[in-house]
Amino acid sequence: MPYSTSTWKKLLISTIICSMLSSGAAYAETAGTTKGAASTEGTVTAPASGSVSMLFSDVAAGHWAEKHIGKLSLQGIVKGNNGKFRPADSVTQQEAVVMAIRFLGLEDEVDAAVMSFPESFRVGNYYTSYAALAFQKGLLEQETEMKAAAADSSSDWGSKPATREWITKLVVRAIGEQEKAAAMSGSAPAFHDAALADSSYNGYINAAVSLGLVNGVSANRFDPKGLVNRAMMATLLSRAEAKYPVNYEGQSQGVISAVSDNQITLYYADGRTVTYALTPSTMVFRFDSEKTSSLGALNAYTNVMVIAENGTARYVEQLDANVLVESVTGTVGSVDLAAGELWLKVGSGYQSFKYDGNLVIENSSGAPLSLTDLKEGSTVEILRDKFRTTPLVVKIIVKGAPVSRTGSGTITQIQAGKITIQESDSSATWNVSSSVAVTRNGRPASLGEITAGDKAEFEIHNDLVTKLNVTATGSQKVTGTFNDISADGKTITYIVNGRPEAKFIAASANIIIEGITNPGITDLAKDDELELTLNADGQVTQIKVINREIVMLNNATILSYVPESKVLTVSDSSGKPHALSLSSKTKIDFNGTAMTLETAGSMLVKGRKVSVGYSDSNAIILKFVFQYSGKLSGINSLTNQITIRMADDSTVTLPLESPTVELLGKANPVLADLKTGDSVTLLLNATQDKVVLIKVGQVVQQTVSSVDTAANKIKLTSAEGQTSEWTAGSALAISDEKGNSIALGQLTSGQVVNVTYEGKTAVAIKKVAVTNGQIAAVDASKVTVKDYSGQTVEFQLSTGYQVMKNGASAPASTLAVGDRVEIRKNTNDQLVVTVNPGIVKTYWKYDAAAKTLYVTRSAVADRYMYNVLPETVIQSADGTKLDIQTLKNGDKITLYLFQDKLLEVVKQ
């Protein structure tokens, strides 16, 4: 009978075991505070994410209105009660009035001894003075509200839930747009349910929609009588601040001149520079998202709003995408260190540029430089601010002059012809000269002796490392005879020259024993000769057994087992018997689950199939066999047998029992679909003597479409557009580009991954680094790319790389400086360079509100809209950065996209 994976598992077990208001805004108020002050009710401990949940326990991280609730709370406009905000509670009319007064910054004008109201106009005692001020300032129309209160004696005017149309009118009047409302009152709002609104609200609804304060609950419905909850009210007032700015206490607006993990520096219009501390509880947002952002997503030299308290920024929001710097390229004429002045030759003349102590200088690879590295004639790009009265250079990128300098640091990575060195405050990768002079504490050494973790002094000449002196070793190797492992598994004792020595074992120590797959500490045997690798702290990072070779007997048959002597006798595939001694140190595996010898003893019966690895006559590992994995060597149709070569280079031949074949992407596959060299997993029947299921392994490049860490789920989309969902866990290994294990949450939507399948089941996911950018340099051995973040990345064109151009393979000689390329590794871990030709279009217009670029169409079916992202590069053909607003209808442009994201727009 044919078997599926699930059928095989069941058989095995039984045999062996038997939009805005619609989307949201604010909160009602009780106790008063000073204008613009953050609530002081209790002490709140903020989470590391900087979420609004640090203020209100019932507003979870990721809440759709967290940005607005957090901001208004810190501005003193909305408050909570007992640490809760109650975002879903309806706002009453009197609560809305209090929030509107605070929004306008008028709370200091509230007079507690002010007038009383007619008996029909009932509000809570606390709210009376706020309502009086609202009438006085014109936020409320006295006659209209008094009549409404008198007409409905069944409820107090103040405690009546506020409707969408009533709140809309209150906010429009609060920001002083009564004239716009009056001018737009002649027509009904453009919603299908406009007739449900009182006609007196028409002008206010139209005005609010035109100002971008409110939207409908759907494209065609406004729901004028619908109630407004506290989250909705907070959002409405937050967005209204763009139309009616108020100077709240602790709030300021400036330009980011510097930002790090623990502080942010702002330059203000009056010339002041102020640095604010940042903490894990600082809330960070951007103008183009309602979700919590990160410090890394803030763009330097852009406008930002900060709400601070006692020198610490509690709320930071980037207000736009306008980077307030200009780029100038020229050659260095001279540097006046005393005057803080740089002279550049730009075009045919010289220009002077001022700088201060905050100047950043780096080479094209991002490595830090100093002013003394600016040599006459060096080609540089300077970034000069546009926000100071007297502009200053904020950054210099040395492009055309090779760097020569000395330094010291820790070697973090060694690649072919490259070395990465971590200095005190930066890390950089440098090319290594073929004639590099290497020493260790002044004595001659070779480059091959250097390891990651070594501390070294270095000398760079013309961008090449020419001298390297290792001053402290990051790792070293020692040998000895294994003696013991401590009970907690943290210490190893070994014998050197007859004397015991002990070392701590690092948490991620690697164990290597030839013949054992994924060995552990428990696989070490007394008298094993060991080679130990120690890190700079003297901890063991690798244990390698160097005197023991394990022989594997695959598909062996048990002849007998004597529990008293613990001797297991098996016959190999040729029928030769082997008597082996078992012990408590024998590693026993039952279909992936570890077993003790006592538990496994009753299963060691005559005729059972096992795989056993032994050294001398001692069994080191014993596996109950229900499947084999390896490379297909062949299928003999005459004997009806299949042969595979396993990872340890041993082979196994097994008979077939009408096996089912699982092959991804193939409907109803058969044995004829298998090819020599295919990775296969053979699953056996209940009696372990025949193959009933063959799962073909393959690696496929796919894209992550979504990650749900709460449910531990990931969705992957194939090149054909088919999406599948998988559960992360022990059965699905996830790793980074280097193969290091990572958590599910470290994958993101849009990430390219290599997925390993066994049959139709995903068993491993590995991240694939994708670089998009412009070729800055290319030769026969390497290609250098400047990516869209401005970083320069170098790729070695070693054997096995591939260049794709116009959909076909092409030689590397066809690559040229200026080509836009996408670089990634394929499923065979080979580099693939794909030239992105771009799409030539004719510019039509740009919708700044929707951040959408429009192009003209040649045919009705042509795409004509493209979303412009904050990271989208807009520039001319010569590389000059452009403001998208400078593009004109009819301009010829080239668009470069990746995964439907607009990376670059180039004006021709």
If we measure between CA atoms, which residue out of 95, 122, 91, 103 comes closest to residue 226?
Answer: 91
Q: What is the CB-side half-sphere exposure of residue 853 using CA atoms within 13 A?
A: 29
State residue 508's pLDDT score: 67
State residue 392's pLDDT score: 93
If we measure between CA atoms, which residue out of 39, 67, 72 comes closest to residue 52?
Answer: 67
Q: Is residue 196 part of a domain?
A: yes
Cβ atoms of residues 384 and 419 within 8 Å: no
Distance, in Å, from the CA atom of 517 to the CA atom of 431, rounded to the nearest integer, reads 37
State residue 829's pLDDT score: 83
Q: Which amino acid is at 156?
A: D
Q: Is residue 855 part of a domain?
A: yes
| 24 pLDDT more than 60 | no
116 and 76 both lie in a single domain: yes
Query: Token match 């590295």: residue?
Result: 373
Q: Which helix (DSSP H) or strand (DSSP E) does residue 318 occupy?
A: strand 312-318
* Maximum CA extent, the chain: 108
**Spacing of C-alpha 878 from chain mean position:** 32
Q: What is the CA radius of gyration of the chain?
A: 36
State residue 4's pLDDT score: 54
Token reading at 38: 């953050």
CATH number for the domain that contains residue 803: 2.40.50.140
Token reading at 767: 């991240």
User: How far, in Å, are 352, 383, 878 from residue 345 at the CA level?
Assistant: 9, 15, 18
Token reading at 602: 């009753």
132 and 43 both lie in a single domain: yes
| 518 pLDDT more than 70 | no
| 649 pLDDT more than 60 | yes
Q: Which of 227-241, 519-533, 618-632 is predicted least confidently?
A: 519-533
Domain span at residue 560 reads 551-624
Position 680 confidence tier, pLDDT thresholds 50, 70, 90: very high
CATH number for the domain that contains residue 890: 2.40.50
Q: Which of 450-454, 595-599, 760-764 is predicted least confidently?
A: 450-454
Q: Is residue 131 part of a domain?
A: yes
State residue 73's pLDDT score: 92
State residue 53's pLDDT score: 79
Mean pLDDT of 639-644: 93
Mean pLDDT of 445-470: 84
Position 101 confidence tier, pLDDT thresholds 50, 70, 90: very high
The total number of structural domains that make up the chain? 8
| 2 pLDDT more than 80 | no
Cβ atoms of residues 551 and 614 within 8 Å: yes
Q: Is residue 655 part of a domain?
A: no
Domain end point (choices 497, 523, 545): 545
What ranges make up the beta strands (E) of 347-426?
A: 349-363, 379-385, 393-398, 405-415, 418-422
208 and 71 both lie in a single domain: yes
Which alpha helices (DSSP H) does 413-549 contain, by range? none
Mean pLDDT of 15-43: 33
Position 738 confidence tier, pLDDT thresholds 50, 70, 90: confident
Distance, in Å, from the CA atom of 488 to the CA atom of 648, rounded to the nearest integer, reads 31
DSSP state of 238: H
Q: Is residue 295 part of a domain?
A: yes
| 39 pLDDT more than 80 | no
186 and 310 both lie in a single domain: no
User: How far, in Å, are 52, 240, 550 from residue 22 at the CA level?
Assistant: 21, 16, 68
Mean pLDDT of 173-184: 92
Distance, in Å, from the CA atom of 155 to the CA atom of 433, rounded to the nearest integer, reads 86
Distance, in Å, from the CA atom of 351 to the CA atom of 330, rounded to the nearest integer, reads 9
| 780 pLDDT more than 80 | no
Distance, in Å, from the CA atom of 8 to the CA atom of 759, rounded to the nearest integer, reads 14
State residue 365's pLDDT score: 67
Q: Which of 427-436, 616-625, 631-640, 861-870 is predicted least confidently?
A: 427-436
State residue 313's pLDDT score: 95
Cβ atoms of residues 136 and 127 within 8 Å: no
pLDDT in tens, 243-296: 777 888 999 999 998 888 899 999 998 889 999 999 989 999 998 888 888 888
Cβ atoms of residues 842 and 893 within 8 Å: yes
Q: What is the 3-state secondary structure (H, E, C) of 758-777?
A: ECCEEEEEEECCCEEEEEEE
**Angle between helical axes of 230-240 and 164-174 (0-180°, round to 10):** 30
Which alpha helices (DSSP H) does 664-770 contain, by range? none
CATH number for the domain that contains residue 486: 2.40.50.320
Domain end point (choices 835, 858, 890): 835
Q: Which amino acid is at 37?
A: A
User: How far, in Å, are 72, 81, 198 from residue 233 at the CA level?
Assistant: 10, 17, 21
If we measure between CA atoms, which residue out of 846, 787, 847, 785 comes closest to residue 816?
Answer: 785
486 and 504 both lie in a single domain: yes
| 187 pLDDT more than 70 | yes
Give 422-444 as a DSSP string. E-SS-EEEEEEEEEEEEEETTEE
| Three-state DSSP state, 184 | coil
List Cβ neighbours of 897 (8 Å cut-off, separation of 6 or more).
836, 839, 866, 903
Mean pLDDT of 534-557: 83
Token reading at 242: 């763009």
If we measure between CA atoms, which residue out of 233, 231, 222 comes closest to residue 167?
Answer: 233
277 and 198 both lie in a single domain: no
Which alpha helices (DSSP H) does 160-297 contain, by range? 164-174, 178-183, 202-210, 230-240
68 and 183 both lie in a single domain: yes
Distance, in Å, from the CA atom of 554 to the CA atom of 273, rounded to the nearest integer, reads 73
State residue 36's pLDDT score: 31
Q: SS3 helix, strand, coil % of the chain, rounded to 5? A: 15, 40, 45
State residue 49's pLDDT score: 37
> Would you say how long the chain is, in residues?
908
State residue 5's pLDDT score: 53
| 778 pLDDT more than 50 | yes
Distance, in Å, from the CA atom of 438 to the CA atom of 434, rounded to the nearest integer, reads 11
Average pLDDT of the chain is 85
Position 405 confidence tier, pLDDT thresholds 50, 70, 90: confident
Domain end point (choices 545, 566, 583): 545
425 and 521 both lie in a single domain: no
State residue 43's pLDDT score: 25
Q: Is residue 668 part of a domain?
A: no
State residue 17's pLDDT score: 34
Query: Token match 């557009």: residue?
Result: 721
Query: Token match 């066809």: residue?
Result: 814
User: How far, in Å, are 334, 344, 373, 374 from residue 377 at the CA level?
Assistant: 9, 9, 12, 9
Distance, in Å, from the CA atom of 635 to the CA atom of 676, rounded to the nearest integer, reads 9
Distance, in Å, from the CA atom of 353 to the CA atom of 184, rounded to the nearest integer, reads 52
| 10 pLDDT more than 50 | no
Q: Is residue 11 part of a domain?
A: no
Percent of the chain with pLDDT over 70: 92
State residue 792's pLDDT score: 85
Give 112-179 as a DSSP string. TT-----TTS---GGGHHHHHHHHHHTSS-HHHHHHHHHH-TTS-TTTSBPBHHHHHHHHHHHTT-HH
Q: Whole-model pTM?
A: 0.44
If we measure between CA atoms, which residue out of 576, 582, 588, 534 comes closest to residue 562?
Answer: 582
Given the DSSP bridges, would you call strands 540-545 and 499-512 parallel, antiparallel or unpaired? parallel
Q: Which of 222-231, 769-778, 854-863 is predicted least confidently?
A: 854-863
527 and 562 both lie in a single domain: no
| 192 pLDDT more than 50 | yes
Given the DSSP bridges, would you call strands 540-545 and 551-562 parallel, antiparallel or unpaired? unpaired
Position 859 confidence tier, pLDDT thresholds 50, 70, 90: confident
State residue 30's pLDDT score: 41
Backbone angles phi, psi at 294, to 5 degrees: -140, 165
| Three-state DSSP state, 247 | coil
Burial annotation 6-42 (CB, 10 A radius, 16+ → b, else e): eebeebbeeeeeeebbbebbbbbbeebbebbebbeee
| 561 pLDDT more than 80 | yes
Beta bridge partners of residue 823, listed in sequence order = 771, 833
Q: Enumerate helices (H) and strands (E) in the chain, giving the number of each.
A: 11, 52
Distance, in Å, from the CA atom of 567 to the CA atom of 617, rounded to the nearest integer, reads 10
Q: What is the CB-side half-sphere exposure of residue 664 using CA atoms within 13 A?
A: 22
Token reading at 461: 């000449």
119 and 203 both lie in a single domain: yes
Mean pLDDT of 705-725: 90
Q: Which amino acid is at 389?
A: T
Token reading at 618: 């001692």
| 330 pLDDT more than 80 | yes
Mean pLDDT of 719-727: 90
pLDDT in tens, 44-88: 222 333 677 788 999 888 898 899 999 999 999 998 888 899 999
Cβ atoms of residues 197 and 222 within 8 Å: yes
Percent of the chain with pLDDT over 90: 44
Beta bridge partners of residue 409, listed in sequence order = 456
Q: Which helix (DSSP H) or strand (DSSP E) does residue 469 occupy?
A: strand 464-472
State residue 240's pLDDT score: 82
State residue 52's pLDDT score: 79
Mean pLDDT of 465-473: 89
Beta bridge partners of residue 681, listed in sequence order = 629, 695
413 and 513 both lie in a single domain: no
Given the DSSP bridges, would you call strands 312-318 and 283-286 parallel, antiparallel or unpaired? parallel
Mean pLDDT of 106-120: 82
Which alpha helices (DSSP H) does 554-686 contain, by range? 597-600
Token reading at 615: 């050294």
158 and 294 both lie in a single domain: no
What ranges make up the beta strands (E) of 546-617?
A: 551-562, 567-571, 577-581, 587-590, 593-595, 609-615
Distance, in Å, from the CA atom of 88 to the CA atom of 235, rounded to the nearest integer, reads 13
State residue 202's pLDDT score: 94
| 471 pLDDT more than 70 | yes
Sheet arrangement for strand 802-805: 792-796, 782-787, 771-778, 820-825, 831-835, 802-805, 808-810
Q: Is residue 436 part of a domain?
A: yes
